[in-house]
Amino acid sequence: MKEEELIGLAGKYFSPGLRAGELSQGIGDDCAVVRFDGRNDLVITCDTLCEGTHFLKGTPSEKVARKLLAVNLSDVAAMGGEPWLAVLSFAAPRGIPDKYARAFFAALGKEAEKFGLAIVGGDCVASKTLTLTLTLLGKVRRGRALLRSGARENDMVFVTGRLGGTLKSGRHLSFEPRLAEARWLAKNFRPSAMMDLSDGLLEDGGKLARASSLTMDLRGGLVPRAEGCGLREALTGGEDFELLLTVPAENFSERKRTLFQKKFGLELSLVGAMIPRGGADLLLDGKKPAWRGYAHFGV
């Protein structure tokens, strides 16, 4: 079973059960969005890292802690939100060295503090495989969460940074979640849709297009590639944790792009456009791509 099929099951079996108007985005986006107080919506995300899947046995626990936090913060960033609080599930083998556990907790606390994030509770259990789950709550101004489903025909498609090679370079362990960048983009470009890139642009672009009932039309030559990466690797490598956003042409200006790039020292690249829905979620240089994206689950 593929990850998307599992998410499909969740969508099928988990009925909302909330009062009408309370849930504005359920399963299928980077975060769920729920009405909070008069001013804000609550965004909620949950990401798990498993030894052997998301990091190799022997990875220093500081790096694991950092990645656990960053993947969750990246989801909150993608909604245009600000992190608020989190709970941790720490499932570890009984014989885990004290030193390893201690370093993990210390690093997670220190990193969380940098982002003004409070870790307020959780669970510690014994498990055969080290499995870490962080659930993160964030806030976003009421009605302002940036969903995957908001893209419109003719919107421009942008990505931040350079894609590909994150496993090889170790960047999947050390990337910076694009929180400040996302807030700046939300404010200045008013994107119609935004998400973070975890499964590769090919896979994630398709998801955004499907959610918006459109097709994403990508130009291979425009895709910003990390050093030493071919196009295929840049499009399918996964774990980029850059932002993918669609922007109505009237909200874009070269001046603002230059401003962004200077302010954050980060490229913002036009890679395509949203077009009316055709036979595919995503086209690469006018054709349905032969490559498949990165799958965290299943084959």
- Please, which residue, 224 or 293, has the CB nearer to a second copy? 293
Residues within window 67-86 making contact with a second copy, judged by CB under 8 A: 84-85
Among 61, 74, 133, 246, binds a second copy (CB under 8 A): 133
Query: How far apart, in whole angstroms, are the C-alpha atoms of residue 142 and residue 237?
Result: 35
- The three-state DSSP-derived secondary structure of 22-39 is CEEECCCCCCEEEECCCC
The H or E element containing residue 166 is helix 166-169
Region near a second copy per CB under 8 A, out of 117-125, 142-150, 212-220, 277-285: 117-125
Question: Do the Cβ atoms of 226 and 169 come closer than 8 Å?
Answer: yes
Residues within window 7-66 making contact with a second copy, judged by CB under 8 A: 7, 9-10, 12-18, 23, 26-27, 29, 31-32, 34, 36-38, 44-54
Query: How far apart, in whole angstroms, are the C-alpha atoms of residue 270 and residue 158?
Result: 4
Among 105, 188, 259, 264, binds a second copy (CB under 8 A): 105
- Please, which residue, 135 or 261, has the CB nearer to a second copy? 135
Buried b (16+ CB within 10 A) or exposed e, 96-113: eeeeeeebbeebbeebbe
Tell the smallest beta-carbon distance from residue 188 to a second copy (Å). Answer: 28
Query: How far apart, in whole angstroms, are the C-alpha atoms of residue 37 and residue 34?
Result: 10
142 binds a second copy (CB under 8 A): no
Residues within window 173-192 making contact with a second copy, judged by CB under 8 A: none
